[in-house]
Amino acid sequence: MSQVRAAIEAARHDGRSALIGYLPAGFPSVQGSIDLIEAMVDGGVDVVEVGLPYSDPVMDGPTIQAAADIALAAGTRIDDVFDVVEAAAAHVPTLVMTYWNPVERYGVERFAVALAGVGGAGLITPDLIPDEADEWVVAADKHDLDKVFLVAPSSTRERLAMTASHCRGFVYATAVMGVTGARDQTSSAAPELVSRTRQVTELPIGVGLGVSDGRQAAAVAEYADAVIVGSALVRAAFDAPEPTSAVRAVQQLTADLARGVRGEPGGPRASGSPVGTGHSGER
Q: Do the strands 94-97 and 47-51 form a parallel or antiparallel pair, or are they unpaired?
A: parallel
Domain ranges for the chain: 3-262
Catalytic machinery residues: 49, 60
Confirm if 5 and 170 have CB atoms less than 8 A apart: yes
| Whole-number Cα distances in Å, 251 to 137, 254, 276 | 35, 5, 26
Confirm if 120 and 92 have CB atoms less than 8 A apart: no
* Rounded CA separation 252/89 (Å): 21
The CATH class of the 3-262 domain is alpha beta
Q: What is the pLDDT of residue 277?
A: 31
Residues 6 or more apart in contact with residue 149 via CB below 8 angstroms:
125, 128, 129, 130, 133, 163, 166, 167, 171, 172
Question: Cα–Cα–Cα angle for 128, 178, 230, nearest 5°?
Answer: 80
Confirm if 112 and 139 have CB atoms less than 8 A apart: yes
Per-residue pLDDT of the chain (283 residues; tens, 9 = 90+): 899 999 999 999 999 999 999 999 999 999 999 999 999 999 999 999 999 999 886 777 888 999 999 999 999 999 999 999 999 999 999 999 999 999 999 999 999 999 999 999 999 999 999 999 999 999 999 999 999 999 999 999 999 999 999 999 999 999 654 444 444 444 578 999 999 999 999 999 999 878 999 999 999 999 999 999 999 999 999 999 999 999 999 999 999 999 999 987 444 433 333 333 332 222 2
* Rounded CA separation 60/271 (Å): 35
Within 28-168, where are the H helices?
30-43, 62-73, 78-89, 100-106, 108-117, 134-142, 157-166
Q: How many residues comprise the chain?
A: 283
